[in-house]
C-alpha cells in the first residue's frame, strides 16, 4: 500500500512538471516581466517574423511549415482554458513590403497548395482560425505545396498577422506582420567569387584608368534564378570615384553549357566575339567575356570568372 501511494505521488509530480513545461518564462525580447503586464498569458509566433525558403526545382508535392503559434501560459491553470486564435492573411502587405524593400514578391496563389494538417481552418480570404483546446499550447500551420505549379522566374510570399487572441496578450515581437517567402532555385543559383577585369576604352587603344582594371580580391557576385536555365548576376568594380557596376546582367546556359550574356535595357551588350562563354559544372565556374558600347571608341569589355562559393 505504501508503495502504491509513493507511485501515485510520483505520477502527480510528473504531471505537474509536464504542465509547467508549457508555462512560460517571459522571452528575453518581451519586457512584460518588468511592468504591470507581468503575469499575463501570451500568444505569439515561435520563429522569425521574416523567413525565406529556397527550393531546388521539384514537381511533386512537398509539405512546408509556414509558421507556428504558441501559447505561453503564466500559470498551469491557464493551460486548462480553450482559446480561439485568428491569424489574418494580409495579401496587401506584400505590395507594401515590395515597395519598401525594392522587391518583387507575388502572393502565393491558394491554388498552389492545400492544408497539410487539421490544426487550422482556412477562410476564403486565406485567414486562419486556430482552436486551442484545454492543454494545447502550440499549433503549426503547414501546407502541401505543388512544385509543378511554381514559376522559377517568380518569388512568392504569404503574409499574416494575429488579429484575435481571446484573453491572451500578443507578444510584442509578434504584433507586426509575419512574412514567409518562397522561391525555386535552379542549380546555378548562389554566391560566387568574381575574378577578372573590366576595360573601358576611350579610343581603339586607350583605356580610362578610373574605369579599367582588375576586380578587387574577394569580390562576390550574387547569381539569382529567373528561369530554369537563366539567372541574373552582378558585377561591381572600384573606380577612382567609388564603386561602379553593370546593370541588368543576365546569363543563360544551354544544353552544352555554353553561356549567353545579355543585359535588360542594353541591347548592345553581347558575348565578345572569338571568346568562349561557358559553364564548367565540375568546378561550378562561369567563364565569361562580354562587351558593349556605341563603337570601339567607347567600348567596355569584361573578362571574368564566377566561381561558386555557397548558397545565396
**Residues 213 and 253 reside in one and the same domain:** yes
Q: What is the mean pLDDT of each run of 10 residues along the chain (312 residues)?
A: 42 38 39 49 94 89 96 86 95 96 92 95 95 93 96 92 94 96 92 93 84 87 89 80 77 97 93 97 98 87 96 82
| Confidence at residue 1, expressed as pLDDT on a 0 to 100 scale | 44
What are the b/e assignments for 129-154, b being 16+ CB within 10 Å? Answer: ebebeeebbebbbbbebbeeebebee
In a domain, 258, yes or no: yes
Neighbour-count burial of 51, counting CB atoms closer than 10 A to its CB (0-12 exposed, 13-18 middle, 19+ buried): middle
| Confidence at residue 115, expressed as pLDDT on a 0 to 100 scale | 96
| Confidence at residue 258, expressed as pLDDT on a 0 to 100 scale | 98
Query: How far is it, in rounded angstroms, from Cα 221 to Cα 217?
Result: 12
CATH assignment of the domain containing 123: 2.60.40.1740
In a domain, 65, yes or no: yes
**Residues 123 and 175 reside in one and the same domain:** yes
In a domain, 11, yes or no: no
In a domain, 8, yes or no: no
| Confidence at residue 27, expressed as pLDDT on a 0 to 100 scale | 41
Q: Structure pTM? A: 0.67
Three-state secondary structure call for residue 222: strand
CATH assignment of the domain containing 250: 2.40.128.420
**Residues 93 and 236 reside in one and the same domain:** no
Which of 133, 166, 184 is a domain's end point? 184
| Confidence at residue 270, expressed as pLDDT on a 0 to 100 scale | 96
The length of the chain, given as a count of residues: 312
Which of 161, 184, 207 is a domain's end point? 184
Domain that holds residue 254: 190-310
The tally of domains found in the chain comes to 2
Query: How far is it, in rounded angstroms, from Cα 143 to Cα 155?
Result: 17
Q: At residue 22, what are phi and psi to the nearest 5 degrees? A: -95, 0
The CA–CA distances, whole Å, from 142 to 69, 116, 164, 171, 185 equal 12, 5, 20, 22, 21
**Residues 173 and 236 reside in one and the same domain:** no
| Confidence at residue 312, expressed as pLDDT on a 0 to 100 scale | 80
Amino acid at each position: 500500500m505504501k508503495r502504491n501511494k509513493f507511485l501515485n505521488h510520483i505520477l502527480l509530480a510528473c504531471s505537474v512538471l509536464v504542465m509547467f513545461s508549457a508555462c512560460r518564462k517571459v522571452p528575453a525580447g518581451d519586457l512584460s516581466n518588468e511592468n504591470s503586464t507581468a503575469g499575463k498569458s501570451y500568444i505569439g509566433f515561435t520563429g522569425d517574423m521574416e523567413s525565406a525558403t529556397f527550393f531546388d526545382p521539384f514537381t511533386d508535392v512537398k509539405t512546408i511549415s509556414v509558421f507556428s503559434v504558441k501559447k505561453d501560459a503564466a500559470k498551469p491553470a491557464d493551460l486548462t482554458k480553450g482559446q480561439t486564435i485568428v491569424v489574418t492573411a494580409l495579401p496587401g502587405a506584400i505590395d507594401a513590403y515590395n515597395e519598401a524593400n525594392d522587391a518583387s514578391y507575388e502572393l502565393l496563389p491558394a491554388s498552389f497548395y492545400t492544408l497539410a494538417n487539421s490544426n487550422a481552418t482556412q477562410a476564403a480570404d486565406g485567414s486562419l482560425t486556430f482552436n486551442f483546446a484545454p492543454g494545447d499550447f502550440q499549433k503549426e500551420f503547414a501546407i502541401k505545396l505543388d512544385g509543378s505549379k511554381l514559376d522559377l522566374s517568380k518569388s512568392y510570399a504569404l503574409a499574416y498577422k494575429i488579429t484575435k487572441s481571446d484573453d491572451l496578450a500578443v507578444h510584442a515581437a509578434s504584433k507586426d506582420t509575419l512574412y514567409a517567402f518562397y522561391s525555386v532555385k535552379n542549380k546555378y543559383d548562389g554566391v560566387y567569387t568574381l575574378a577578372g577585369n573590366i576595360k573601358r576604352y576611350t579610343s581603339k587603344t586607350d583605356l580610362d584608368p578610373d574605369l579599367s582594371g582588375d576586380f578587387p580580391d574577394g569580390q562576390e557576385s550574387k547569381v539569382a534564378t529567373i528561369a530554369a536555365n537563366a539567372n541574373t548576376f552582378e558585377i561591381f568594380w572600384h573606380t577612382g570615384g567609388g564603386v561602379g557596376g553593370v546593370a541588368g546582367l543576365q546569363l543563360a546556359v544551354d544544353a552544352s553549357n555554353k553561356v549567353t550574356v545579355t543585359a535588360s535595357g542594353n541591347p548592345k551588350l553581347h558575348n565578345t566575339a572569338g571568346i568562349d562563354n561557358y559553364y564548367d559544372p565540375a568546378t561550378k565556374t562561369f567563364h565569361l567575356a562580354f562587351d558593349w558600347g556605341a563603337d570601339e571608341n567607347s567600348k567596355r569589355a569584361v573578362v571574368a570568372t564566377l566561381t561558386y562559393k555557397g548558397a545565396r
